[in-house]
Amino acid sequence: MLHLTDIQLQDNKTFLAMLNHVLNVDGFYFSTTYDLTHTLQRLSNTSPEFQEMSLLERADQRFVWNGHLLRELSAQPEVHRFALPVLHGFITMHSCSINGKYFDWILISRRSCFRAGVRYYVRGIDSEGHAANFVETEQIVHYSGSKASFVQTRGSIPVFWSQRPNLKYKPLPQISKVANHMDGFQRHFDSQVIIYGKQVIINLINQKGSEKPLEQTFATMVSSLGSGMMRYIAFDFHKECKNMRWDRLSILLDQVAEMQDELSYFLVDSAGQVVANQEGVFRSNCMDCLDRTNVIQSLLARRSLQAQLQRLGVLHVGQKLEEQDEFEKIYKNAWADNANACAKQYAGTGALKTDFTRTGKRTHLGLIMDGWNSMIRYYKNNFSDGFRQDSIDLFLGNYSVDELESHSPLSVPRDWKFLALPVIMVVAFSMCIICLLMAGDTWTETLAYVLFWGVASIGTFFIILYNGKDFVDAPRLVQKEKID
């Protein structure tokens, strides 16, 4: 590094910090023997040639997070056995027992590395139809040689929209007025139908307020596409479950029960014969595809597991999975851990609403924890997500370091407002406090000073809020789409 300039040396330290940041996030997995990137159903429907390939060659590229890092080894077949695909997401495995019958229960969430990023900087879809925060979640059961699996997906609302941070608690979502929504929308669902089959879309966002235009746009796009392979269900999660009435989620489960039976699940017997195929998936989403989405996915997965365990003979006729206390505890905690993992990777904090996933009911302590996590999310989304987004782009190869580049990509000029306004606000607030503490006999004069400095600090605060986009930590390496 002797030939590098001082600025390049400083940038190099930042680049290394970015790579370390990504690698320090929980949720990277690999296997030397099992293809983690494919579902059981995809693996069962392969050719002998596919089975002969190395794990790197046959991997589903959507879920290979170290693909860029392996680019040179990929070109050398003789070293493929050392080049293992790395999955990002969540995996948990449990040996369980019901009615004295032992089985393995596994949950795998695979995060897509296409259109990867953090909460407010990566929304909607790109021109290739890749959705932000796309996750494939597979629930697997191994019992006495038989294997069953149930697959669901989640992903951002597949139109061109953004929600850039601007210091407001909930930035207003912006839907592009110029992009060809149908082109990206169709690309997204064409690929989803090819991979998974029928699509039952469960849209959980609010049907009023700032989220309403997105719900209307999604519904219009599905209707305009007119595909017989897609069903659209809008369920206003917050409206239906307000006042902690989470029992009302049964309304949605009853609504989709027949569709779930039609989609079925994958099942292969101990002789290796395929008994049932999953004909499609539930594609669930909320705004972030985290908290509300995970709650619904856990309920749909339990209903599928109930049917699988009855068919395998683990559950007796008439027995309910909810009545199996020991397994229920394992099940609920695993889904809550899955929610936390996906949320930390996308939003920077653990998931909200996990008290319901863990206990089956909403609690006041859970509400307090949700408030705390929301505060942490607000800080990270506004003041550290630019660095997190740059880290992911560098790791995945969306940005390549070029030492011949004359200008530092990390240096962003700030105008006077960035430094002056916060200083003015702090000084004004401090003077307001000092005037209160040093108040003498002349309350009229003291009150005048307090009002002056109080109005100055509050006014400066609102000016900062109005210019919020100038104060947030924005990505610097890859220019994210700006939607007008």
| Short-list 371, 392, 421, CA closest to 480 | 392
Half-sphere exposure of 409 (CA within 13 A, CB side): 18
Tell me the CA distances in angstroms from 209 to 175, 205, 212, 417, 474, one per residue in order: 14, 10, 6, 32, 26
- Spatial separation of the C-alpha atoms in residues 172 and 428, rounded to whole Å: 30
Q: What is the dihedral of CA 318, 321, 322, 325, to 10 degrees?
A: 120
Identify the pLDDT of residue 484.
39
Other Cβ atoms within 10 Å of 16 Cβ, number:
11
Where does residue 278 fall: left (phi above 0), alpha (psi -120 to 50 degrees), or beta otherwise? beta
User: What's CA 372's distance to the chain center, in Å?
Assistant: 19
- Identify whether the C-beta of residue 281 lies closer than 8 Å to the C-beta of residue 195: no
Identify the pLDDT of residue 439.
66
Task: Sort 315 into a burial class: Cβ within 10 Å, 0-12 / 13-18 / 19+.
Answer: buried
Does pTM top 0.85 for this prediction? yes
Q: Report residue 283: phi and psi, to 5°.
A: -110, 105
Strands 198-203 and 230-234: parallel
26-31: long-range contacts (C-beta < 8 A, 24 or more apart)? 26/341, 26/344, 27/88, 27/89, 27/90, 27/111, 27/341, 27/344, 27/345, 28/65, 28/86, 28/87, 28/88, 29/86, 29/87, 29/88, 29/89, 29/91, 30/84, 30/85, 30/86, 30/87, 31/55, 31/84
Those residues of the chain that have pLDDT short of 50 are 482-484
Identify the pLDDT of residue 349.
84
Identify the pLDDT of residue 457.
74
| Short-list 74, 85, 102, 93, CA closest to 30 | 85
Where does residue 144 fall: left (phi above 0), alpha (psi -120 to 50 degrees), or beta otherwise? left
